[in-house]
Amino acid sequence: MNSRIFAAYGVGLNRAEMAKHCPTAKIVGSTELKNYRLTFRGDHACAVATVEKAKGSSVPALLWEITQRDETALDRLIGAPELYRKEAVKVRCNGIMMVALVYIMVIGKPQNKPSAFYYSTLLEGYRAAGFDVEILKSAVQCGSIDLPTG
């Protein structure tokens, strides 16, 4: 069975969402997407996460081993190729360099705010992975929403 590594920085951080959509996916570790920054793009209060090139910045990511069936499910969930394109990015996990699949939003969506529900889904994923939630909070500061704290 062919598998590949998926670097999740958005909804893929949420273990419950991944279990629902990609039941055979397995966490293999965490990494940083170096020289990228997290941002939200889309319609007002409905923006979703993406990463953009930003020298000197980094975004934490959870690495999943996924099957072709998982990848097909992710394409549907995330909206590839209409909303996101897939890129291969070099990452380091436990001292090993590997190539990971990353979904990056196609150009053209304005920077905006996520819904409180979407934000809380990502916040839960950040906390479960032990990532610094300040990175997530600062990515949202392009606008003001009532951010859940619980």
User: Does residue 141 lie within any of the structural domains?
Assistant: no
Is pLDDT at 26 greater than 90 in this prediction?
A: yes
pTM over cut 0.85: yes
Q: How confident is residue 1, by pLDDT bands cut at 50, 70 and 90?
A: low
Report percent pLDDT > 70 for the chain: 93
The CATH number of residue 71's host domain is 3.10.490.10
- The domain of 79 spans 3-131
Examine residue 30 and state whether it is found in any structural domain, yes or no.
Answer: yes
Q: Which residues of 105-116 are buried (b: 16+ CB within 10 A; e: fewer)?
A: beeeeeebbbee
Q: Span 114-121, mean pLDDT?
A: 93
Are residues 35 and 53 in contact, defined by beta-carbon separation less than 8 angstroms? yes
Q: Quick check: is 145 in a domain?
A: no
